[in-house]
Structure 1
Amino acid sequence: MSLRTAGIVLMVIFWSVTGQDYGVTYTTHSICALKGSTVELSCTYKYPKKDKVTSTFWFTRKDSRGKFVSLRDDDDYKSRVKYNNDEPESRKTTEKRHFLTIGGVRESDSAKYMFRFITSSNKYFGNTGIRLSVSGLQVTFPSTVIEGQGVSLTCSPTCPLTDNSKLSYIWYKNGHLLTNEHNDLNLHTVIGDADNYSCAVKGREMLRSPEFTLNVRCVQFHILYFVILQQHLFN
């Protein structure tokens, strides 16, 4: 009875020490990026001083054999990713930062990205990861648009961008470029014809939002004529 209890205590102590000596901490939990942009993910990782790091990589999935697939070896990523340590291996530190850069992100890149490192005596990865959402553009507008009134159209990503600074937007009406460079397009007076609108970010004109048709509701005026007939009676 006492031997079994001792074994359990030793196991608890072992896992406690392992968890303290190895670790991955991500700089953020989630990122929203615009389709076509370049994204940088980063983390810090630590390991015991006695260990030597032999491999570091980022991944999103396992292969059919249950092996983690480095993005550098993944056909969907390998031409677009770059790994970088901010500290040379020669520095005697057991806590380092690691960066992942993904160029030209696609909507299919939306996934959880995790970092894994292998040392001379252990393998470890941070399972919380960073959730990347890749956004296209969408145009929002009022549900009812009445002829003769003004209307505001808004170009926005499908999720709040992590870096939304210095973006210039461009608008298209029936395929023709408009001069407006803001995410809001104000139409002061709309007429009854249906026009097609779309938007894009300047510099990424090939990645337009889906085109939508602005249907304008006509107001019908009903004019009532009252005819008063007067009858003159002559005696």
Structure 2
Amino acid sequence: MSCTYTYPTGHQIKKVFWTKNIVRVGEEHPDLSDDTEYSQRLQYLGDKQQNCTIRLSHVTQKDEHMYCFRFITDKTVKWLGHPGVTLTVTDLQVESPERVTEGDSVRLTCKSSCALTDGATFIWYRNSQPLTERRDRNNQLLLQSVRREDAGRYSCALHGHTYISPAAHLSVMCE
């Protein structure tokens, strides 16, 4: 999350940190880097001058919050950047039947929690290998007349993005 700030001349910055937005007035604003949920994943990239950029890694839906930058000066004056930055987390998920029988047709669906553009292109993977660079304009993969070799862990991705969905396992049973 990119961030810059300014502070009054004649002050010296003593502490800079990020916090989750707290709605209740008078409540203290805890430093996220002291929170065990964030301490290993939060990296402060800024300085104590004007840059307050942070990086949050291994983001999940639980991280959806409004985050605010806070700084304290040598004159014990505290500022809070409000309203802050709202982090929205989206994901991809493969839906598939768990078990199918040889010869069946199977439709796998790549679902997203975000609104996608009409031109979104999906890439499908079986056992972490791209399926012959197969790219589908829609979010479905149709496997016609499945064989036992089609069994495996299927995942999907949006072309142009690095995130790959968690894998869904497909088992193919003999007739």
1:179 to 106, 122, 131: 131
Q: Distance in 2 between matches of 1:180 and 1:114?
A: 45
Contact 2:128–2:155 under 8 Å retained in 1:
no
1:45 aligns to 2:1 (yes or no): no
SS in structure 2 at match of 1:199: strand
Match of 2:57 in 1: 103
1:82 to 35, 43, 50: 43
Match of 1:117 in 2: 71
Instruction: Give the share of equivalent positions with the same residue, in percent.
Output: 28
SS in structure 1 at match of 2:62: helix
SS in structure 2 at match of 1:133: coil
Contact 1:55–1:117 under 8 Å retained in 2:
yes
TM-score (norm 2): 0.61
1:124-139 equivalences under 5 Å are 124-139=79-94
Unpaired segments ≥5 residues, structure 2: 96-104, 171-175
Unpaired segments ≥5 residues, structure 1: 1-40, 90-95, 141-149, 162-166, 213-235
Shift, 1:61, TM fit: 5.1
Shift, 1:48, TM fit: 1.0
Once superposed, what is the RMSD of the aligned Cα atoms? 4.1
SS in structure 1 at match of 2:4: strand
Equivalenced residues, count: 146
Contact 2:21–2:68 under 8 Å retained in 1:
no
SS in structure 2 at match of 1:44: coil
Contact 1:137–1:209 under 8 Å retained in 2:
no
1:130-188 CA-to-partner distances (Å, cap 9, x unmatched) read 11122221358xxxxxxxxx998663532258xxxxx984334xx7966144552554x
TM-score (norm 1): 0.47
Q: Distance in 2 between matches of 1:128 and 1:211?
A: 42
Shift, 1:77, TM fit: 0.5
SS in structure 2 at match of 1:85: coil
